[in-house]
Amino acid sequence: MVSSGKKIRWDEAAKESLKSAISFIRKDSVKNAEKVKKDLLRKINSLKDHPEKYPLDKFMKDSEGIFRAVELHHYRVIPIRQNNSA
């Protein structure tokens, strides 16, 4: 498979949110924390080649269709901004 060359850009709040969620899960189960982290990162990284793979964000009503949302393991991962210049 050929990569599109696009990158996922994480802002600091998103990075901290992921770290916090994984730390919270890790308190009960290291194994589950690693699974959730791996699954979330895999899903997020899949967006590089297929950014429109997930539905429009139902909570961003006035976004003109530029935000998409990813949900997994009861976590709303991030609103994903579609950027045509990326």
Is it the case that residue 85 has pLDDT exceeding 50? no
User: Residue 55's pLDDT band (boundaries 50, 70, 90)?
Assistant: confident
Name the phi and psi angles at 16, rounded to 5.
Answer: -65, -35
Query: What is the pLDDT, as a whole number, of residue 71?
Result: 84
Residue 21's nearest CA partner among 68, 81, 77 is: 77
User: Residue 38's pLDDT band (boundaries 50, 70, 90)?
Assistant: very high
Please give the residue that has the higher pLDDT: either 11 or 22.
22
**Polymer length in residues for the chain:** 86
What average pLDDT does range 22-47 have in this prediction? 93
Q: In the predicted model, what is the mean pLDDT of the chain? A: 80
pTM of the model: 0.72
